[in-house]
C-alpha cells in the first residue's frame, strides 16, 4: 500500500483523499459556523471573515462546503460498504463455484448493470421523499456490478493456482479457502474498482443534490451548487468553491485508483478502469 | 458475425427489458400510501373505495397486475401526466429531440477530439505534451458536469458575451431556415462542449493507452519496417486500439443521459433535463417513471449495438 505514495500521482491522490476525509470528519471543528445559520450580510464576496464568501441568506459558504464534504463522505462510505459486500460476495461465489452458479450470478450482474443509477434514485426519492438513507440504499444496491465482475475474474484465475490446491489438499473448507487465500489476493484489483466507484458515487450524490433531491437536513455540495445557479451573475464564489471541492475529492480518488491499478498489474491498469 | 450470434444477442434483450419493467413495477408498489386513497380522496365510503379498487384492477393478485403493467408498457402506454394532462409518451417524445441533439453533438465532438488527442499523446509518450493531455484528462474526468456548466456559463457566456447563457433559440428573433439552424448551433455550442468534456477526458485516456499498447506490438514494427508512411502505421494501431473505446463509450450511455440532464438544467436547454426537473418539483410520477424506462431501454439497445459493432469490427469474436 505504501507503494501508492511513491508515484507523484498516487501521492497527490492520497493527500487529496486524506484531506477530504479529515475535513469531513472534523467538519464541526473546522467550520466556523452552522452551515444553515444566517451570520452575515447576504452575497458578500470572499473576505477574511468569510473565506468563501456568503450566500443569498447570509450563510457562510465555507461552513457549507465543509459540512457538505461530511455528507458526501458519509453517503459515499455507506454506498461503497454495501456495494463492496454485495460485489465481493457475488464475484467470489461466481468465480469459485463456476458452472451454472457462475452463469446465473453473471446474468444477474449484467442485468443490474443496466439500471441507470441516477434515474432510479430520482424516482425513489420522488416517491419516498428525500433522505440520505434512500440515496445510500439505491446507490449501494446498484453500484456493485463492477466490483463483482473484477472479483469474479480474479477469483477465477486465483482458484486455479497451486496454493489453492494445497489448501484444498490440507482439507480446508471452501469458505476458508475463499476468505483466507483467494480474497486477500484479489483485494488489490478490487480496490482499484472500489476507489473509482467511490469517485462516481461522489459525483452522483452531488448530481442528486444539484437537482434538488438531497436531504434538506444534511447540507450537500450539490445543493450549494444548485443554490448558486440563481446567483451566477452576482456571486461566482457560491458555485466555485462547492464545485471545486467535489472535483478535488473525485480527482483524489481517481488518482489513487490509477496508482493502485499500476501496482496491481502495470499492464492491466486501464482494463480495470474500463470495467468500473 | 454469424446470424446465430445476432439472434442470440437480440434474444438477451427480452429478459433485460423484463427486468427493468419489474424494477419499475416493484418501485411503484413499494411506494408509501394507498393508490385508492390517492384516486378517491380521503372522504369516500367503503363501497366507493371498493369500486375504485376493482375499476383499476388493484384487487387483482400482484403477478396479474405486473402482467397488465408490462403489457401497457410494451404497447407504449405509460399513463397520463398529472401535470400536462396528456399521454406521458407524447410529453417525453416532445422533449427527446433536443436532448438527443445535445448528446450526439457532444459525443461526436468528444470522440473525434479524443482520438486526435489520444494519438498525439501516445506518440509523444512521457513528453510534456503527453503529460499535459494526461493531466487535463484526469481533471476533466473529475469535474462534475453541472459545475463545469456553471463555470462555462459564468466565464464564456456571461464573461465574454460570445455565447448565449440559456435556451435553444433567441427568443427575440424568430429565424427560419439556415438562420434558425445557425441560431440553434450557437446556443448548442456551450452545453455540448461542457457535456463533451467528461467524455473527452475518458476517450482520450483510453485511446492513448490503447495506441501506446498497439505501438509496441510486432505488427506495428513490421509495418514500420516495410516503410509504411506514419499515417498508415497509426491507422493500423488505431484499428485495434479503438475496439475497447467503442465498448466504453457504448457502456456510458446512462452516464451521458445523466450528464445531459444536469447540463440542461444549467443552460435551460429545453430537453429531458428540464422535463425531469419540473416533474420532480410537481411530483409528476408517470413522467419520472417514463424517463427511467426510456434511459434503461436506451442502455439496453446501446449495449446490443456496441456488442454487434464489436463483433463486426473484430472477426475473432465468436460466440458459441
d(CA B29, CA B25): 6
Which residues 200-219 of chain B have a CB within 8 Å of chain A?
Answer: 205-206, 209-210, 213
Asked if the Cβ–Cβ distance from A207 to B146 is below 8 Å, we say yes
Residues in chain A closer than 8 A to B20 (CB atoms): 114-115
Q: Which residue has 493502485 as its cell numbers?
A: A260
Shortest distance, CA B292 to any CA of chain A (angstroms): 5
Asked if the Cβ–Cβ distance from A123 to B303 is below 8 Å, we say no
Q: Which residue of B has its CA nearest to A203?
A: B144
Greatest alpha-carbon span in chain A? 74
pLDDT at A274: 45
What is the DSSP annotation of B42-61? TT--HHHHHHHHHHTTTTS-
pLDDT at B236: 87
Asked if the Cβ–Cβ distance from B296 to A123 is below 8 Å, we say no
Shortest distance, CA A164 to any CA of chain B (angstroms): 30
Q: Which residue of B has its CA nearest to A13?
A: B138
The answer to whether the CB of B92 falls within 8 A of the CB of B290 is yes
Shortest CA distance to A101 belongs to which of A112, A111, A90? Answer: A90
Any A CB within 8 A of B319 CB: no
Shortest distance, CA B304 to any CA of chain A (angstroms): 12
What is the DSSP annotation of A115-169? S-HHHHHHHHHHHH---HHHHHHHHHHHS-HHHHHHHHHHHHHHTTSHHHHHHHH
C-alpha cell at A93: 461465489
Q: Which residue of A has its CA nearest to B28?
A: A127
Question: Is the backbone of residue B144 left (phi > 0), alpha (psi -120 to 50) or beta?
Answer: beta
Asked if the Cβ–Cβ distance from A229 to B19 is below 8 Å, we say no
Greatest alpha-carbon span in chain B? 89
Helices A61-97/A145-158 angle, 10° precision: 40
Question: Is the backbone of residue A185 left (phi > 0), alpha (psi -120 to 50) or beta?
Answer: alpha
The answer to whether the CB of A16 falls within 8 A of the CB of A252 is yes
Shortest distance, CA A184 to any CA of chain B (angstroms): 28
Q: Which residues of A53-92 are buried (b: 16+ CB within 10 A; e: fewer)?
A: bbbeeebbbbbbbbbbbbbbbebbebbbebbbebbbbbbb
Among A110, A210, A267, beta carbon nearest to B146:
A210
ipTM comes to: 0.90
Low-confidence ranges of chain B (pLDDT < 50): 320
DSSP A45: P
d(CA B252, CA A272): 15
Q: Which residues of B146-174 are buried (b: 16+ CB within 10 A; e: fewer)?
A: bbbbbbbbbebbeeeeebbbeebeeeeee
d(CA A101, CA A107): 10
d(CA B140, CA B145): 9
- Is B45 exposed, middle or buried (CB count within 10 Å of its CB: 0-12, 13-18, 19+)? exposed
- pLDDT (tens digit, 0 to 9) for every residue of chain A, 276 residues total? 567 778 888 999 999 999 999 999 999 999 888 999 888 888 888 988 888 989 888 899 999 999 999 999 999 999 999 999 999 999 999 999 888 999 999 989 988 999 999 999 999 998 898 999 999 999 999 999 999 999 999 999 888 888 888 888 888 888 888 888 889 888 888 999 999 899 999 999 999 999 989 888 899 999 999 999 888 888 899 999 999 999 999 999 999 998 888 887 655 444 444 444
How many other CB atoms sit within 10 Å of the CB of residue A219? 27
Residues in chain A closer than 8 A to B244 (CB atoms): 271, 274
Among A225, A228, A251, beta carbon nearest to B142:
A251
d(CA B85, CA B107): 34
Among B16, B150, B276, beta carbon nearest to A229:
B150
Residues in chain B closer than 8 A to A254 (CB atoms): 138, 141-142
C-alpha cell at B140: 476533466
Q: Which residue has 427489458 as its cell numbers?
A: B17
Asked if the Cβ–Cβ distance from B15 to A111 is below 8 Å, we say yes
Helices B145-152/A183-210 angle, 10° precision: 40
Q: Which residue of A has its CA nearest to B210?
A: A270
B216-241 pLDDT tens trace? 889 889 998 998 998 899 888 888 88
Shortest distance, CA A255 to any CA of chain B (angstroms): 8
d(CA B145, CA B192): 11
Asked if the Cβ–Cβ distance from A233 to B303 is below 8 Å, we say no
B267-308 pLDDT tens trace? 999 999 999 999 998 888 899 999 999 999 999 999 998 888
Q: Give B273's contacts (C-beta < 8 A, 6+ positions apart).
A: B99, B260, B261, B262, B263, B264, B265
Amino acid at each position: 500500500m505504501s507503494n501508492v505514495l511513491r508515484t507523484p500521482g498516487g501521492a497527490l491522490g492520497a493527500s487529496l483523499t486524506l484531506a477530504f476525509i479529515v475535513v469531513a470528519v472534523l467538519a464541526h471543528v473546522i467550520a466556523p459556523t452552522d452551515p444553515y445559520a444566517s451570520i452575515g450580510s447576504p452575497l458578500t464576496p470572499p473576505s477574511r471573515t468569510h473565506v468563501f464568501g456568503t450566500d443569498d441568506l447570509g450563510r457562510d459558504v465555507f461552513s457549507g462546503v465543509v459540512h457538505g464534504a461530511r455528507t458526501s463522505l458519509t453517503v459515499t462510505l455507506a454506498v461503497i460498504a454495501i456495494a463492496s459486500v454485495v460485489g465481493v460476495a457475488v464475484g467470489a461465489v461466481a468465480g469459485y463455484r463456476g458452472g451454472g452458479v457462475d452463469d446465473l450470478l453473471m446474468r444477474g450482474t449484467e442485468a443490474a448493470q443496466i439500471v441507470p443509477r441516477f434515474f432510479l434514485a430520482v424516482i425513489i426519492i420522488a416517491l419516498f421523499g428525500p433522505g440520505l438513507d434512500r440515496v445510500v440504499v439505491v446507490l449501494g444496491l446498484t453500484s456493485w456490478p463492477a466490483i463483482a465482475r473484477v472479483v469474479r475474474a480474479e477469483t477465477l484465475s486465483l482458484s486455479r493456482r497451486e496454493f489453492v490446491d494445497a489448501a484444498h489438499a490440507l482439507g480446508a473448507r471452501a469458505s476458508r479457502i475463499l476468505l483466507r487465500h483467494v480474497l486477500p489476493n484479489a483485494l488489490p484489483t478490487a480496490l482499484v474498482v472500489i476507489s473509482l466507484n467511490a469517485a462516481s458515487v461522489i459525483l452522483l450524490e452531488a448530481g442528486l443534490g444539484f437537482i434538488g433531491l438531497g436531504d434538506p437536513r444534511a447540507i450537500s455540495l450539490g445543493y450549494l451548487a444548485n443554490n448558486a445557479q440563481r446567483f451566477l451573475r452576482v456571486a461566482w464564489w457560491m458555485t466555485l468553491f462547492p464545485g471545486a471541492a467535489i472535483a478535488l475529492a473525485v480527482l483524489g480518488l481517481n488518482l489513487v485508483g490509477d496508482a493502485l491499478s499500476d501496482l496491481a498489474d502495470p499492464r492491466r491498469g486501464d482494463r480495470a478502469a474500463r470495467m468500473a | 458475425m454469424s446470424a446465430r450470434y445476432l439472434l442470440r444477442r437480440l434474444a438477451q434483450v427480452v429478459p433485460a427489458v423484463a427486468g427493468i419493467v419489474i424494477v419499475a413495477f416493484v418501485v411503484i408498489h413499494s411506494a408509501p400510501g394507498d393508490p385508492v386513497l390517492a384516486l378517491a380522496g380521503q372522504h369516500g365510503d367503503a363501497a366507493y373505495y371498493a369500486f375504485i379498487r376493482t375499476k383499476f384492477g388493484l384487487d387483482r393478485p400482484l403477478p396479474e397486475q405486473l402482467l397488465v403493467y408490462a403489457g401497457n408498457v410494451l404497447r407504449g402506454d405509460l399513463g397520463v401526466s398529472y401535470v400536462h394532462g396528456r399521454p406521458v409518451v407524447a410529453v417525453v417524445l416532445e422533449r427527446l429531440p433536443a436532448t438527443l441533439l445535445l448528446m450526439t453533438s457532444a459525443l461526436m465532438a468528444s470522440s473525434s477530439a479524443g482520438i486526435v488527442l489520444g494519438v498525439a499523446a501516445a506518440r509523444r509518450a512521457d513528453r510534456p505534451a503527453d503529460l499535459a493531455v494526461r493531466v487535463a484528462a484526469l481533471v476533466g474526468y473529475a469535474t462534475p458536469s453541472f459545475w463545469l456548466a456553471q463555470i462555462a456559463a459564468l466565464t464564456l457566456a456571461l464573461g465574454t458575451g460570445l455565447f448565449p447563457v440559456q435556451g435553444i433559440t433567441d427568443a427575440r428573433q424568430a429565424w427560419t431556415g439556415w438562420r434558425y439552424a445557425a441560431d440553434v448551433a450557437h446556443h448548442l455550442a456551450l452545453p455540448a462542449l461542457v457535456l463533451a468534456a467528461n467524455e473527452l477526458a475518458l476517450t482520450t485516456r483510453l485511446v492513448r493507452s490503447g495506441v501506446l499498447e498497439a505501438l509496441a506490438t510486432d505488427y506495428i514494427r513490421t509495418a514500420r519496417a516495410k516503410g509504411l508512411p506514419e499515417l498508415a502505421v497509426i491507422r493500423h494501431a488505431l484499428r485495434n486500439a479503438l475496439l475497447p473505446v467503442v465498448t466504453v463509450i457504448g457502456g456510458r450511455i446512462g452516464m451521458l443521459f445523466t450528464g445531459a440532464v444536469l447540463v440542461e438544467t444549467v443552460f435551460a436547454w429545453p430537453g429531458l433535463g428540464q422535463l425531469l426537473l419540473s416533474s420532480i418539483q410537481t411530483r409528476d410520477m408517470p413522467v419520472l417513471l417514463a424517463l427511467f424506462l426510456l434511459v434503461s431501454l436506451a442502455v439496453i439497445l446501446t449495449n446490443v449495438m456496441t456488442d454487434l459493432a464489436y463483433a463486426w469490427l473484430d472477426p475473432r469474436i465468436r460466440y458459441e
